[in-house]
Amino acid sequence: MSFFKHVALHKYDLTDKGVSQACYDEIVIDNPVLEDVLSTEQIQVLADEMRERFKDYMRPLFASGGGYMTTGLYRDIVYTEYMLEHDLTYTEMLERVHVDEMLKRVAHMEWQDTQRAAWMGGDMPEYTVPEDCPF
């Protein structure tokens, strides 16, 4: 079951503004006549309230110590995705170059979830420029 039925959340920024925009779009797609009845500001109030409900909905997944995501689960996800992505055998997966790359991916996933948990808890996420950024 997904919270959003009409929009793909991954296409929006993971900020209050981005998620509010996703909520706004979801509301308007789900109820097209609202734009005829309510002003943009009124729909935005509904979207902001929906954003807070979404954060409450997601909070148990990222709660400190009680969340569902653990380092072991991150490693399982990364291992499987990496193996399929590079079409490697189990033996090839043990090569140092692949292990190092997978550990970097696990660390990145943990960082992402820490930032997501901070945002969901009402704190400001830490913004960094990725090493491979072309700008």
Verdict on whether the full-model pTM lies above 0.95: no
Q: What is the mean pLDDT of the chain?
A: 82
SS3 116: helix
94-98, 105-109, 125-129: range with lowest mean pLDDT: 125-129
Count CB atoms within 10 A of the CB of residue 26: 19
Q: Where are the domains of the chain?
A: 9-61, 66-120
- Span 6-31, pLDDT tens digits: 998 888 888 889 999 999 999 999 99
Q: How far apart are CA 39 and CA 58, in angstroms?
A: 29
pLDDT computed for residue 108 by the predictor: 84
Using alpha carbons, list the distances in angstroms from residue 98 to 80, 89, 102.
12, 11, 6
Tell me which residue of 113, 111, 112, 93 sits closest to 102, measured CA to CA.
93
Average pLDDT over residues 76-99: 86
| Radius of gyration, CA atoms only, the chain | 19
pLDDT computed for residue 63 by the predictor: 54
Tell me which residue of 45, 43, 52, 41 sits closest to 19, measured CA to CA.
52
pLDDT at 116 over 70: yes
Q: How far apart are CA 119 and CA 135, in angstroms?
A: 26
pLDDT at 1 over 50: no
Q: Give the distance, in angstroms, between the CA of residue 21 and the centroid of all CA atoms in the same chain.
A: 15
